[in-house]
Structure 1
Amino acid sequence: MTPSDPSSPPASSSDGVRRTRGAHEFGIVGSEDLYQGRVMALRVDEIAMPGGGTGRREVVEHPGAVAIVAVDDEGRVVLIHQYRHPLGRRLWELPAGLLDVAGEPAVDTARRELAEEAALSASRWSVLVDVAASPGFTDEVVRVFLALDLHEVAEMTAEGNEEADLVVHRVPLDEAVRMVVAGEIVNASTSAGLLAARAVLTGLAEARETTAPWPDRPTRWARRTAGSD
């Protein structure tokens, strides 16, 4: 199927609304902050809609995050079994963490999280995929890195939260991909990262440099917590 030409003139539908065919600017005409917590904030934006009206959209602001597909010399990937309260159970995930240090490059956050959660460092880093968690209501985007040439480092002291209960396990990458398709892995960035890693490591795609542009990296939360919002 070929996408419609965005330069085509607007057309009217049966309800009389003029279709803008991708030409409308969804400007924000008003915004209200409703809540700010430890790792998220909630606001409601009033957005200019095609046809002259407006619509309200709830937005969950998030600091953004990184995740790491760490693959050892035997082709095994590091997975974390961690309790996730909204789902009420433990999930298999990649090592990951929030972009909660002001000004820290994403790859440095990834290095820190790999050391903290899996007691590992890596000599080779690249970008696999950027994952918009649920763009219908949140600006959360996760950058997933590929980490190769792994080395063990000193285990960090666990904090008094879910991380104190982490289980670290290594499984063959193909087995991890099978777990995604079988519904045994449901975390979005984990699923996307594992599939992207297999594509890169089998030559179907190329990874990006760690400094690759990231236009969708969340910024609103950082501005808010810095006091400039």
Structure 2
Amino acid sequence: MTRSPSRAATGAPPHAQYDEALRSGILREATRRLRDSAPEKLGLRPLAASQGTSTTAIYTMFGGKTGLLAAVADEADRMLAEALREALRHDSVETDMRSLCRAYRGWALDNQGLYALVVSEPVRSPRVDADRADADRRDPQRRDPQWREPLLEIVDALVDEGIFRAADVHEAATAIWASLHGVVSLELSVWRDSPSAEQYFETQLAAVLRSWSAGGARRTPAGMVG
């Protein structure tokens, strides 16, 4: 049986072993560890050891901890977007709006550490090229996270169907998100163990949706507050 020459014999660089499988493994494990933990608690050495490698691999493939956190934030963004889309049943746009908002809360409660990465100031990988960074500065909407897309679509449909009052869709979606984020953040930091936490959320959700209805406080669509 002919044996393959060693890396030393072929002159292959040490990082040649850092393939996509290893990168995916590191990212998957980092995402798992950050599900309920703050970024500062993520140790690179134990993370690398769990994948049978060294921290050199993380620096080679991600550019260090900042680059790794940026990759985790992107993955968390994708996960939240997927959770929001899975909540949509398309029975009615009003029902979908409520379902999406509740799915947002549920994902945040189940993934507190990742949620903090998703909603905080975007973590920038040190490897982002200058052209992309410049393009982001010129067009901030390029940086819209994936999870905002289903929210924007639902708000757009509500405005289009006359259920929400006429408004700029981005501004309306941002205002609604700000309210959701506020009550969810309070639950995570203050009300986590309160038996009334869910009711606080539902009360806030009903108030927010009612405030955007085409008839304002005088019109309360049954589908928007149930």
Q: Does the alignment reach a TM-score above 0.5?
A: no
More strand, by proportion: 1
More helix, by proportion: 2
What is the TM-score normalised by the length of structure 1? 0.21
What is the TM-score normalised by the length of structure 2? 0.21
Structure whose alpha-carbon radius of gyration is higher? 2
